[in-house]
Amino acid sequence: MNQPDKTLELDAQAFRQVVEQALERVLEHLDSLPEQPSVTQGGADLARSLVEPLPERGAPFPELLSLLFERLIPHSFNTAGPGYMAYIPGGGLPHVAVADLISDVVNRYVGVWATAPGLVQLETNVVRWFCDIVGYPKQALGILTSGGSLANFSAIVAARRQHLPSNFFKGTLYASDQTHNSVQKSALAAGFPPENVRQISSDRAYPLCLDALKRQINLDRAAGYEPFMVVGNAGTTNTGAVDDLEALAALAGRERMWFHVDAAYGGFFVLTAHGKEVMAGIEQADSITLDPHKGLFLPYGTGALLVRDRLVLQRAYSVHADYLPEMQQDPDFVDFCEMSPELSRGFRGLRVWLPFKLHGIGPFRRNLEEKLALTRWATEQLRRIEGVEIVAEPRLSIVAFRLRKPGLDDEALNALNRALIRRINERNRVFLTGTLLGDRFVVRLCILSFRTHKERVEQGIEDIKASVAALMSSKQPAEVG
């Protein structure tokens, strides 16, 4: 036998060295975060220049770090910085990097209870805490997923298994036209024909229109379909609109349908008094999607699905295998693989457990309250800018607005607002994106990062004011390019 190759078993000194070298770069990066440009666009040439064959030999670690921190990381949207108010901001609590370091190194297995009962209990606690946050009863539980999309997918499969026969092609599900595309995508992945996802029109302030929903359900029943699921929004991605969750819960109950709430963006605002009021009724849902990598400021990679009755999720996903350890039967405990499409996966629980235990829930609640207040403040500033119209008042921490200029038709107005976003972003202190509400292109301001505070929002308002002024004084009807 040849000598075994032990290169991959870093000894203590080598491991310490790579961690320290990486940490050095990471700290420098964090330090400069507020000064980094809010966005660097493009990058096809950069991407192409990186294509390379499978490496036969190793390269020095500092060289690889330089590639990452000097060439690749700077060329991106600064999603972790305070100026990121585009889409739905992520976060990047640094604690989670430490949690990941620990769980990756110990590499314990948390899909099955017997393999690490204490660690599985930590993750169970995290899911239970989420259930308490939304006001779920004792028999509720759920799973941590890679994100909101997979949580929505897991919910649709659970609802399908609970309400429909094996041949489920007559099953129809309902969601407003403001619903995140992951619901449509998940329904497809769960096997439904695309047309079985009914898009219900939304009211002017963008919650789902209940009358339209009732009409469609009746039409579908009359045509021989089996309406089985309603998806409500607790914070749409477009405007943060919240559907009437109590009314939807009542309707789903009467119609014997599964009621799912997609609270990927808005859910953790129930930690605040305002959010609790706005999302009243969320606790009546059969299932809820939350996204800790949005509202809890975690780095990307952690979503959650909560179900009102854990047994329903277990019935949906439990499939026996001879080669797995025995699943435990104690109702106090859980084998997560029995409630989830996943078997092997990382220890996501520690990513939430560590920051919660280190700080308690207080700082999370106060950060969310701050984001709500900042959005209200920004809205009042925007309202005072001549030519700016608030298109969707903030329910949570998103405000949608647009610039109006006399004499322009809809198309020209849309072009004007696209030009406005370009100008704002060029100043590189904040990064904003837009969306379409009906035919109207609007600019969105979404404040959710734990690093975004008053000072940066003020800078954003300054940049919006300056960009609006430039466009309003420009002779061209809609400056393009």
Ligand X SMILES: *Cc1c(COP(=O)(O)O)cnc(C)c1O
Burial bucket for residue 83 (CB in 10 Å: 0-12, 13-18, 19+): buried
Q: Are 295 and 267 in contact (CB under 8 A)?
A: yes
Q: Which is nearer to ligand X, 154 or 414 (CB)?
A: 154
Minimum distance, C-beta of residue 110 to ligand X, in the bound complex (Å): 20
What does the H/E/C string look like for 2-30?
CCCCCCCCCCHHHHHHHHHHHHHHHHHHH
Residue with the CB atom nearest ligand X in the bound state = 148
Two tokens at 109? 């297995």
Q: Which is nearer to ligand X, 262 or 286 (CB)?
A: 262
Q: Which is nearer to ligand X, 182 or 314 (CB)?
A: 182
Q: Which is nearer to ligand X, 89 or 460 (CB)?
A: 89
Q: Which is nearer to ligand X, 262 or 463 (CB)?
A: 262
Minimum distance, C-beta of residue 165 to ligand X, in the bound complex (Å): 28
Two tokens at 273? 């008094």
Minimum distance, C-beta of residue 144 to ligand X, in the bound complex (Å): 12
Q: Which is nearer to ligand X, 182 or 196 (CB)?
A: 182
Name the site residues for ligand X (rule: CB under 6 A). Answer: 88, 147-149, 180, 182, 237, 262, 264-265, 291, 303
SS3 418: helix
C-beta atoms surrounding 12 within 10 Å: 7
Q: Which is nearer to ligand X, 303 or 460 (CB)?
A: 303
Burial bucket for residue 13 (CB in 10 Å: 0-12, 13-18, 19+): exposed
Largest CA distance in the chain: 84
Minimum distance, C-beta of residue 243 to ligand X, in the bound complex (Å): 11
Beta-strand runs (E) in 375-432? 388-392, 398-403
Residue type, 252: A
The residues with which 227 forms a beta bridge, in sequence order, are 172
Residue type, 446: C
Q: Which is nearer to ligand X, 299 or 460 (CB)?
A: 299
Two tokens at 43? 């990058």
Reference 318, options 59, 106, 112; nearest CA is 112
Q: Which is nearer to ligand X, 89 or 171 (CB)?
A: 89
CA distances to 305, 307, 316 from 340, rounded to whole Å, are 10, 12, 9
Minimum distance, C-beta of residue 149 to ligand X, in the bound complex (Å): 3
Minimum distance, C-beta of residue 337 to ligand X, in the bound complex (Å): 21
Residue type, 262: D
Residue type, 34: P
Minimum distance, C-beta of residue 148 to ligand X, in the bound complex (Å): 3
Minimum distance, C-beta of residue 342 to ligand X, in the bound complex (Å): 14
The residues with which 198 forms a beta bridge, in sequence order, are 174
Minimum distance, C-beta of residue 471 to ligand X, in the bound complex (Å): 29
Q: Which is nearer to ligand X, 83 or 292 (CB)?
A: 292
In angstroms, the CA 361 to CA 176 distance is 32
The full DSSP string for 302-325 is: -EEEEESSHHHHHHHH----TTSP
How many residues appear in the chain?
481
Minimum distance, C-beta of residue 147 to ligand X, in the bound complex (Å): 3
Q: Which is nearer to ligand X, 123 or 243 (CB)?
A: 243
Two tokens at 312? 């329903």
Minimum distance, C-beta of residue 305 to ligand X, in the bound complex (Å): 11
